[in-house]
Chain A
Amino acid sequence: MENRVMKHPILGDLAPAREVTVTVDGKKLKAREGEVIAAVLMANGIMTHRHTAKTGEPRGIFCGIGQCTDCVMTVNGVPNVRTCITKVQEGMVIETQEGYGKTGAAR
Chain B
Amino acid sequence: MKKEVVIIGGGPAGLAAAIEAARYGAQVLVIDENSRPGGQLLKQIHKFFGSQAHGAGIRGIDIGRKLLEETEECGAEVWLNCAVIGLFSDKRVAVLKDGVTVVVEAEKILISTGGAENPLRFKGWTLPGVMGAGAAQTMVNVNRVLPGKRILMVGSGNVGVIVAYQLMQAGADVVGIVEGMPKIGAYGVHAAKIRRAGVPFYLGYTIEEAIGTDHVEKAVIAKFEDGKIVKGTELVTDVDVITIAVGLRPLSELAMMAGVRHDFIPELGGWMPVHDENMETSVEGIYVAGDIAGVEEANTAMDEGRMAGTAIAKALCYLDANKAAAAETAIADRLSALRQGPFGERRLNAKKRVVEEGAIR
Contacts and interface: CB of A to CB of B under 8 A. Distances in A.
A53 interface: no
Contacts of B170: 5, 8
A18 to B, nearest CB: 15
Interface residues of B, number: 34
Contact of B143 (A9, A39, A67): A39
Contacts of A58: 127-128, 214-215
Contact of B128 (A4, A59, A64, A84): A59
Given A4-B144, A57-B126, A87-B35, A39 B139 contact: yes
Contact of B214 (A10, A47, A65): A47
Contacts of B126: 57, 59
Interface string A51-93: 0000001111111111110000000000000001101000000
A22 interface: no
Interface string B83-124: 000000000000000000000000000000000110100000
Contact of A60 (B116, B128, B138, B251): B128
Contact of A61 (B141, B146, B147, B171): B147
A98 interface: no
B33 A66 contact: yes
A59 B216 CA distance: 11
A103 interface: no
A60 B243 CA distance: 13
A94 to B, nearest CB: 16
A8 B137 CA distance: 13
8 nearest A-B pairs in the assembled complex, by CB-CB distance: A60-B128, A64-B135, A47-B128, A39-B143, A64-B138, A47-B215, A5-B144, A42-B145
Given A64-B134, A85-B34, 4 more contacts: A39-B145, A47-B214, A58-B215, A59-B128
Interface of A: 3-5, 8-11, 14, 35-36, 38-39, 42-43, 47-49, 57-68, 84-85, 87
14 contacts: A5-B144, A5-B145, A58-B214, A59-B128, A60-B127, A60-B131, A63-B116, A63-B131, A64-B132, A64-B135, A65-B134, A66-B34, A67-B251, A85-B33
